[in-house]
Structure 1
Amino acid sequence: MHDVTIIEGADQAAIAAWLAARLGGSGAITLPGGSTPFPILAALIEQGGIGWSGWEIWPNDDRIVPEDHDASNTGKMRALLEPAGAQIVPLREEAVPPHFALTWLGMGPDGHIASLFPNTNPQMDDPKAVLRLTPDPLPAHAPFDRITLTIPALLNTSALVFTLGGAADKRAVFDAALAGENDLPVARLLRTAETQGIPVTVFA
């Protein structure tokens, strides 16, 4: 790809510092759920220097559960970032997401991004920005219907960043997607990002 930077071995504080350098001013960003981002976000808040009151936070996706449920990405983001001043925007099917200053994504070992699993056949030109869907099979650790941004909504952004958590299996899938060796959701997103000239940073 044209503009991909892979950073090896960065710890949570280093990733937080990278994010802080890119989040001056105000705007909107979209964040992943899962176990990886929240310690990084906590480090980012602890480091200080970001005026969170100027930022809208959109989840990449969420489980269809109440916000006080342990599986709610929105609830976790609200608990962590709202006290710092950020505005949390829950996903709704009728929502019109803005242009994001940054799209931060995780990725599953199966190449899924947000809740765009391989069996959902995500389209690079999906006319919808937000989809409600049911993964099949449902992930055992989170067996819930989902709501998710689509590939076009995720790519309405100035930059992409991935955090892979140092997992060798994820790195292998990502590298294959980057090389065009599979057609998993992450590969579809990367191909489209390349055609749109969106820079990609990967914390491997």
Structure 2
Amino acid sequence: MTTERRVLVHADRAALAGSVAARFLTKMIDLLDEQDEAHIVLTGGSVGIEVLAAIAALPARDQIDWSRVHAWWGDERWVPTGHADRNEHQARDALLDRIAMPASNIHPFPASDEGLDLEAAAQRYREELLAAGGGDFPTFAITFLGVGPDGHIASLFPERDGPRVAEPGVIAVHDSPKPPPGRLTLTLPLINQSERIWLVLAGADKAAALGLALAGAAVADVPVGGVLGTKRTVFFIDDEASSEVPESLIAPTSYWTGAMDQAEWTVGED
């Protein structure tokens, strides 16, 4: 099956967040016209949370029937409920507390104060996902991902076991190189079952990871290089993050199509 990877460049961080927010609302309106419900996966990080805040700031947010949208997370830090470092906490502040999404549609990872160890917490989230999908994992319509300067996505870090896990699911991370060492994360095969994966990254410190990902670096070394949605994968970046990508590939409408080991770029719209 042919899928697509695109790179869309924005002038600066603010333009990036605003553009992704507008695209998200437009796509959600279209999806909910076609299907009963939609599952989305949220991310943390400064740019990811800026996108959520930009969604909340747009009047079009009220055109979405949020009762038909389920929110999940790609990963979470192993800290207590309500901790400022939790992706869930930040997402609630930026967006979820500002829209009419039922509490039952919000699916945070377990927290460290819920009486579970990391392995049990991973298993519980896996079971929650399977229950929502009627015995299989739900189809994620849109999965947001941030990208670290080292090329990590979710809590799948280079030179760790996480990126090498071959099965869709949820895993515990005990040795994160970024604090805290304990994390919970979706595996790359489950992330790649998403219909659309939107990677949002800004800053010159992300340029090398982006360049390596587009050049086909090994997934174990640059996990973001292994990301590929079933319909489309889009890198939404600012100008600074584009500095190590050839100019011919970074026009605002440039995108890559085909299998991950090909190198054909063409022009099109998201």
TM-score greater than 0.5 by the shorter chain: yes
1:148–1:110 CA distance, 2 compared to 1 (3 A):
same
How far apart are residue 85 of structure 1 and its match? 2.4
> 1 CA distance for matches of 2:146 and 2:72?
14
State the match for 2:16 in structure 1. Answer: 11
Contact 1:103 1:157 in 2 (8 A): yes
1:175–1:132 CA distance, 2 compared to 1 (3 A):
same
2:50 to 39, 47, 50: 39
State the match for 1:152 in structure 2. Answer: 189
> 2 CA distance for matches of 1:179 and 1:110?
15
Aligned residues: 195
2:173 to 133, 142, 151: 133
Q: Deviations over 1:137-190 (max 9, x none)?
A: 3x2xx324100000011112111111012x12312211221211343111123x
How far apart are residue 88 of structure 1 and its match? 1.5
Any unmatched runs of 5+ in structure 1?
none
Contact 1:82 1:88 in 2 (8 A): no
> 2 CA distance for matches of 1:170 and 1:122?
21
> 1 CA distance for matches of 2:39 and 2:3?
25
TM-score (norm 1): 0.85
Greater Cα radius of gyration, structure 1 or 2:
2
Residue 59 of structure 1 aligns with an amino acid whose one-letter code is W
How far apart are residue 35 of structure 1 and its match? 1.1
3-state SS, counterpart of residue 11 of structure 1? helix
1:73–1:173 CA distance, 2 compared to 1 (3 A):
same
Q: Does 1:180 align with 2:216?
A: yes
> 2 CA distance for matches of 1:153 and 1:128?
4
1:164 to 201, 204, 212: 201
TM-score (norm 2): 0.66
> 2 CA distance for matches of 1:59 and 1:136?
17
Contact 2:25 2:64 in 1 (8 A): yes
State the match for 1:99 in structure 2. Answer: 139
Residue 7 of structure 1 aligns with an amino acid whose one-letter code is L
Any unmatched runs of 5+ in structure 2?
110-120, 130-136, 238-270
> 1 CA distance for matches of 2:236 and 2:155?
20
> 1 CA distance for matches of 2:195 and 2:3?
15
Contact 1:123 1:151 in 2 (8 A): yes
* Between 128-137 and 59-68, the greater mean CA deviation after superposition: 128-137
State the match for 1:200 in structure 2. Answer: 233
3-state SS, counterpart of residue 36 of structure 1? helix
> 2 CA distance for matches of 1:37 and 1:18?
14
Q: Does 1:122 align with 2:155?
A: no
How far apart are residue 56 of structure 1 and its match? 0.9
Greater share of helix residues, 1 or 2?
2
> 1 CA distance for matches of 2:142 and 2:57?
20
1:20 to 16, 19, 25: 25
> 1 CA distance for matches of 2:3 and 2:191?
19
Q: Does 1:109 align with 2:110?
A: no
> 2 CA distance for matches of 1:31 and 1:12?
14
Contact 2:168 2:188 in 1 (8 A): no
* Between 172-181 and 28-37, the greater mean CA deviation after superposition: 172-181
> 2 CA distance for matches of 1:83 and 1:197?
31
1:12–1:127 CA distance, 2 compared to 1 (3 A):
closer
